[in-house]
Amino acid sequence: MIVRIATNGQYRLSDDHATKLNELDNAAVEAVDAGDEARFHELFDQMLELVRGAPPLDGDELEESDVILPPPDLTFEEAGSEFTGEGLIPG
Partner 1 sequence: MAGLSGRFSTMIKAKVSKLLDRAEDPSETLDYSYEKQLELLQNVKKGIADVVTAKKRLQLQTQKHEQAVVKLDTQARQALSAGNEDLARVALERKTAIQNELQGLDQQVSELENQQQQLTDKEKQMRARIDAFRSKKEVIKAQYSAAEAQVRISEAASGVGEEMADVGLAMQRAVDKTENMKARAGAVEELEAAGTFEDLTQLGEGKDDIDRQLEQFTSDSQVDDELAKMKAELGAGSSGGGQLEAGKPEGGGGQ
- The stretch among 31-39, 45-53, 81-89 that binds partner 1 (CB under 8 A) is 81-89
Q: Which of 15, 16, 38, 62 binds partner 1 (CB under 8 A)?
A: 62
Site for partner 1 in 5-34 (CB under 8 A): 6-9
Q: Is 44 exposed, middle or buried (0-12, 13-18, 19+ CB in 10 A)?
A: buried
Nearest Cα neighbor of 8 from 60, 65, 84, 46 is: 65
Q: Which residues bind partner 1 (CB under 8 A)?
A: 1, 4, 6-9, 59-71, 73, 78, 81-90
